[in-house]
Structures are given as C-alpha cells and as structure tokens.
Amino acid sequence: MSTIIITKGTELLRIPQEKLVYISSEGNYSNVITVDNRKRLVTYQLGQIEDMIGDQLGDTGSNFLRLGRSLIINTDYIYVIDIAKQQLILSDCCGCYHELSASREVLIKLKAYIESLRDYYNEQK
C-alpha cells in the first residue's frame, strides 16, 4: 500500500493513496480530504503537494490529476461529470460523497480523458 506523507515542522500527515479523495487550495494552504470525509488543512500550496505526490508515488500516483488552479483529484473517485452544471461529484458509492465545482473547460478535458482511458482498456481486451 502506497502512502503520501506530508510533513511540516512538528506535524506529520500520512495518508494511504487509495484513501485520498481530493485536495483543494485555500490561498497559500491546501485542504486534504480523505474517504472518511475528514478535512485537514496543511501549510503547502497545491503545486507543492502535486510535486510531493509525484516524488513519493511515481507512476502509482498517476490516478491523481490536477484540475485547474484549485484542485487535485483522485480519478478513482469520479462518479459524475456534469459539464452543463459545471459539477464534479466524487464518491465511493458507500458514504464518501463530495460535490465540487469546476470550469466547463476543465470538465470537458476531464470527460475526454476518462473516455480515452475507457477506450484504451476496451482495445486491450
């Protein structure tokens, strides 16, 4: 099981990769949201956390995707992409449920990306 470790000063946050749902920016800080709906404010900007994910997880972190300037999501939790409503719903269908807003452009690209993954996997069969 791969984990992401975010440490600063006297605090250490350790999250199993599959339990991290998304990270949102809040000024110079970031909110880390896990599958149990807990939110933790950390003193890193989103770009810094994006770099940490890449450094710590390498290729296994490929399911984390940066959406615009304010979100990093775990694509494993994508439940609904509604371009018309500019809405992204992340869910595990068991109790974890988050409605997020994103720009039309970001959602169009995200939908195309997910469809391309589906097509790739279908071609492999």
Residue-wise pLDDT tens digits, 29-47: 999 999 999 999 999 999 9
CATH code given to domain 3-124 = 2.40.50.1020
Q: Supply the pLDDT for residue 1.
A: 62
Reported as a single tens digit per residue, the pLDDT across 48-59 is 999 999 999 998
Among residues 99, 55, 93, 94, the alpha carbon closest in space to that of 73 is found at 99
The pTM for the full model equals 0.92
Q: Supply the pLDDT for residue 117.
A: 87
Q: Supply the pLDDT for residue 61.
A: 86
Which H, E and C letters describe the chain, residue by residue? CCEEEEEECCEEEEEEHHHEEEEEEECCEEEEEECCCCEEEECCCHHHHHHHHHHHHHHHHCCEEEECCCEEEEHHHEEEEECCCCEEEEECCCCCEEEEECCHHHHHHHHHHHHHHHHHHHHHC
Residue ranges in the chain whose pLDDT is less than 50: none
